[in-house]
Amino acid sequence: MKVLHLYSNHKWTGAADHALNLCARLDQLDGVSSHLACGWRRGRQNPLRTRADDLNLEQVRDLHLEKHLNWRIAPDVLKLRRKRVKGNFDLVHSHLDNDMLAAVTAGWSARLVRTVYAGEPWDLDWRQRACLSRAALILTASRRVRDFLAGLYPAKPIHQIQIPVDLTRFAPRPKDRRLMAEFDISPGQPVAGIVARVQRHRRFDLLLQSLRKVTAELPDIKFLIIGRGTHIDEVAREPVLRLGLQDHVVFTGYRSEDFADVLNLLDFKVFLVPGSDGACRAAREALACGKPVVATNRGILPEIIRTGETGLLIDEAPESLAGAMIRLWTDGPRLRRLAVNARAEAEKSFDPGRYAAAVADLYKVLLREIRRIPNTSIREVK
């Protein structure tokens, strides 16, 4: 079967990694051929197309697929309609709202699969209501979102699928001595960290207030802030100085090639507020590295983290976060048990091969239903 994946953005953010990795994994299966169409970018490097080339993905390059709704959706609709009439693809798999709208408007509804990466129920806008009601198959990252959409569309096939991570790249490894020297970490020194774009809404105020309490009891801790952000000085660097945390907090910047090695410096990870990726890839990657996660109850995090087993779930008070960090740092046997459990959970739930096989099986079920009903209508597929 030939499947066209649509991703209406050109930026390497949000669910881009999930979409491209799914295409690559599906291509490794017998009988599945994935093609990717992603956002167009005039006269500048396109990070998604570059990454797709690195993965040797077949690309469809004649679509604009912009993130925001504008006039360029019109030629996309016409081109997608021609592809449908010519029978270029068996299915279209949509990953974002604007490409879903283009596919539905082009008449692909009966052969449209949509993955919803949101971590919790939300108020659907007109575009989402119009299109999700017409999609033939919906996949969700979150169980709560699956149940929410099933309540809105009780007759529609909706399946929750665990979003995977690369279990080879993200795996427990010894702490890298070069990185320890770069960040001034001593052997045996307790280290934790957060991976996040440094933005106002990501609750760095909560984090830094908590760290001030932690350092009063554990004066030798190191905490890595892994990421970057336009307002990093205002949101993090200046408060670190005001709170006297400069000897404890290390700003690593954005890490790419050595990101997994930086993660493996941590004894555990903190995750406070999900960003543009509702599936919370960063939390999954930490678990895969055998790092317990201290997390709030926001979004999909309570579905990923089993409190007391693979991490700790807390409320959003400095005392709660500080207490959780202190308990993990001062209870070595418990921390080691959670670390082993974290990796085991990742191997059980986040395996990319099982994920791709499960998606391919759902494709096959949908195609059998389409072929069983000649001249299938949108209503009949639902």
Cα dihedral 155/158/159/165 (nearest 10):
180
Residues in the chain: 382
The type of residue at 232 is I
Residues 295 and 148 in one domain: no
Q: For residue 302, is it within any domain? A: yes
The type of residue at 171 is A
CB neighbour list of residue 39: distance below 8 Å, 6 or more residues apart: 7, 8, 9, 10, 11, 46, 48, 64, 65, 66, 67
Question: Exposed, middle or buried: residue 286 (CB in 10 Å: 0-12, 13-18, 19+)?
Answer: buried
Tell me if residue 96 falls in helix, strand or coil.
coil
Tell me if residue 271 falls in helix, strand or coil.
strand
| Cα separation, 83 vs 87, whole angstroms | 6
pTM of structure: 0.92
| Cα separation, 143 vs 160, whole angstroms | 6
| Domain carrying residue 67 | 2-164+351-381
Asked whether the beta carbons of 326 and 218 are under 8 A apart, the reply is: yes
Q: For residue 248, is it within any domain? A: yes
The type of residue at 274 is P
Residues 134 and 214 in one domain: no
Residues 321 and 229 in one domain: yes
Residue with tokens 């990923």: 304
Residues 355 and 337 in one domain: no
Count CB atoms within 10 A of the CB of residue 204.
24
| Cα separation, 34 vs 27, whole angstroms | 6
Residues 151 and 205 in one domain: no
Q: For residue 169, is it within any domain? A: no
Which spans in 43-92 are helix H? Answer: 47-54, 73-86
Residues 208 and 326 in one domain: yes
Q: For residue 172, is it within any domain? A: no
Residues 216 and 304 in one domain: yes
- Using only C-alpha atoms, the chain has a radius of gyration, in whole angstroms, of 22
Residues 127 and 50 in one domain: yes
Q: For residue 37, is it within any domain? A: yes
Q: For residue 171, is it within any domain? A: no
Residue with tokens 């690309």: 59
The type of residue at 158 is I
Residues 232 and 313 in one domain: yes
Residues 253 and 217 in one domain: yes
Count CB atoms within 10 A of the CB of residue 171.
15
Q: How many structural domains are present in the chain?
A: 2
- Which CATH number characterizes residue 287's domain? 3.40.50.2000
Beta strand 33-38 with 58-59: parallel, antiparallel or unpaired?
Answer: parallel
Residues 24 and 108 in one domain: yes
Q: For residue 245, is it within any domain? A: yes
Q: For residue 363, is it within any domain? A: yes
Return per-residue pLDDT of the chain as tens, 382 residues: 999 999 999 988 889 999 999 999 999 999 999 999 999 877 667 889 999 999 999 999 999 999 999 999 999 999 999 999 999 999 999 999 999 999 999 999 999 999 999 999 999 999 999 999 999 999 999 999 999 999 999 999 999 999 999 999 999 999 999 999 999 999 999 999 999 989 888 999 999 999 999 999 999 999 999 999 888 999 999 999 999 999 999 999 999 899 999 999 999 999 999 988 999 999 999 999 999 999 999 999 999 999 999 999 999 999 999 999 999 999 999 999 999 999 999 999 999 999 999 999 999 999 999 988 655 443 333 3
